[in-house]
Amino acid sequence: MAVKKAGKRTGSKKKLVIVESPTKVESIKKYLGSGYDIEATMGHVRDLPKSSIGVEIDNDFEPKYITIRGKGDLIAKLKKKTKNASRVYLATDPDREGEAISWHLSNVLGIDPKSDCRITFNEVTKDVVKEAVKEARPIDMNLVDAQQARRVLDRIVGYQISPLLWKKVKKGLSAGRVQSVVMRLIVDREREIEAFNPEEYWSIDLKLTNEKGRLPFKARFYGSAEGKKLPLSDEAETMKIVETLKAADYTVKNLTKKETKRKSAPPFTTSTLQQEASRKLNFTSRRTMIAAQQLYEMGYISYMRTDSLRVSEVAQKEAREYISQAYGQQFVPKTPKQYRAKKSAQDAHEAIRPTVVVNTPEKLKEKLKPDLFKLYRLIWLRFMASQMTDAIMDMVSADILADKYMVRASGSEIKFAGFMTLYVEGKDEAEEKTAKLPKLEEGQKLLLSSIDPQQHFTQPPPRYTEASLVKAMEEDGIGRPSTYAPTIATISARGYVARDGKSIYPTELGFIVTDLMKENFRDIVDVEFTAHMEDEIEEVADGDVEWKEVIRSFYGPFKKALDEAEEKIGNIEIKDEVSDVVCDKCGRLMVYKQGRFGKFLACPGFPECRNTKAIVKKIGAKCPKCGADVIERKSKKGVIFYTCENSPECDFISWNEPTDEKCPKCGSVLMKTRPFRGRGPLIYKCFNEDCDYERRPEKKK
């Protein structure tokens, strides 16, 4: 096909703008006016084939791109529109993937990639879109090549190791350049937990008051009167100290008062958005990115795949003006806040922020679906807080003498809330809260109100959650912002990991595959090697290295390891755990299988018998309709609901949990309910709709 320049043509022909998502089409059409025709590709139009590796290894790793199935009609339509357009702008997403899609489009549509055909915008707003058209540029082949390098590397690893796993372990398994090293993180953490030996230690908490027995506050045993910290390792030693403390006189030895600043968290990057949405909204990484993509396409937030902390001067100015009007000038820093990203961050985009500051969450609530509203509110609050003054805290620490020992009390209070008026960043581990101390003076006598010695044991490192796993991937340089969510989704779909609440842990299959990879493909599951490969891809994007050179240097050692593994690995049999549930179709004992949504029961006679069953979890309550046992189930979205074991004969189904208590008024079953979409206080309510009995649970004494 003859390549043509994307230059101007005469006549009244329209200019054609090609975007990725159809959601953007109407907005951009409105911004650019009637002289423009806007079309959407709905993602890639060309890719490597699924049926084969799609890389000609013997031809210097040349990729073999094909038209994606189902895109033929779209391409024909775009070709026709390109032919009739006065100019064509390729406006796919502003990242490497988007750059690659534009390059593929230029090839398919016969557009010269060196012409000014490429436009990008970080947000879908009128001014930004119109400015982007003025700043059209050639396609950046360094970014395209970086994407090709990643795609080819992933293909070589996935399509050459996965068949080995099928042959040696079982069908349907996969290995990936990023997913395999992520699995190693999870498996290594689980083994660390299993090998952990808890150690005993003790603490002594005290409640002290002033001389009149008023204004109680908490203190904790610290050590000797001279200020040397004394660890408490056993009960006998602790109880001796407790007896001394019970009989001691308490005197404030010294007070330390200081004013500290608490700095606001920076605006979101892809990684921190996924982490915080997991902590505060209980969103999976995938759910977060789906909602963020929609918010971006609707024009409400800036581009959501970024590791930059940069904020435009215009956005900062808008934020400062809004903060001054809404909260007061004292909440506006003297100079705009600047945040520094890590060295490897790409600065092509800004941090994730609302495109229009005055679009408060309350203004958009009626326009947005629940997930979009929750995520937009999180982004808006985080961004606005990042542009506000630091909080000022008054910190007080008191060293209190008690015979030959010292106990310590500390407290804090907010002197000036600053950004904390709006938002405080979540943490993976619970923070110990400190209350305000009463007014104390050096030399003041105190009274012991109570003393509480407690035994503790050191805890193993926690399992990864999605939030902490994304954080680890970012810190270790594993993958890119665009790969965090798909990687976690893949290892879940393959049955390599399972979940316990928010925690992620490896299944038996996950252990087997990861151990096999560690033994035979050390580089693939090595964190430092994977991070080094990411650095090399960055060098391709910067134009410092030719992309095929990266592939060549990788492939030699990889092919050697692959050939050795083929000879070395024997067949690995994974035995299924047998249950006591009899298959009601063929009489065999069913076995436990791991699926995408957790464990389930399957007949071992597959493929002759394809019977499967959900694992029944009885809750110890009786069905309010027929008296049979109630069982707990999960919806496809992971939400718990309750049905009768006699279903479908009995039609009982409820989001509320039945209890084993009877209603004192009518004798029906009491249900645990939470009004206000499950967020309100717990109420026990009668199942009988004609009965109005309800009560709150008794408070624990």
Query: What are the DSSP calls for 537-588, one per residue?
Result: HHHHHTTSS-HHHHHHHHHHHHHHHHHHHHHH------PPPEEEEEPTTT-P
Structure tokens, 40: 């959407």
Q: Which is the catalytic residue, given 89, 222, 300, 303?
A: 303
CA–CA separation, 640 and 657 (whole Å)? 9
Rg (alpha carbons) of the chain, rounded to whole number: 31
3-state secondary structure of 193: helix
Sign of the alpha-carbon torsion through 285, 291, 296, 300: negative
Distinct helix (H) and strand (E) counts, the chain: 18, 28
Is there a cis peptide before residue 438, judged by omega within 30 degrees of 0? Answer: no
For this structure, is 303 an active site residue? yes
| φ and ψ of 88, to 5 deg | -120, 130
Structure tokens, 690: 């004609």
**Per-residue buried b or exposed e for 166-184, using 16+ beta carbons within 10 Å of the residue's own CB:** eebbeeebbbbbbbbbbbb
Q: What is the DSSP letter of 425?
A: -
Sign of the alpha-carbon torsion through 579, 580, 582, 588: positive
Residue 172: which residues within 8 A CB-CB, separation 6 or more?
A: 166, 494
Which uninterrupted H or E stretch holds 73?
helix 72-84
Which residue matches tokens 């890119």? 480
Q: Are strands 653-654 and 657-662 parallel, antiparallel or unpaired?
A: unpaired
Sign of the alpha-carbon torsion through 595, 601, 603, 609: negative
Is there a cis peptide before residue 607, judged by omega within 30 degrees of 0? Answer: yes
Q: Which residues are catalytic?
A: 303
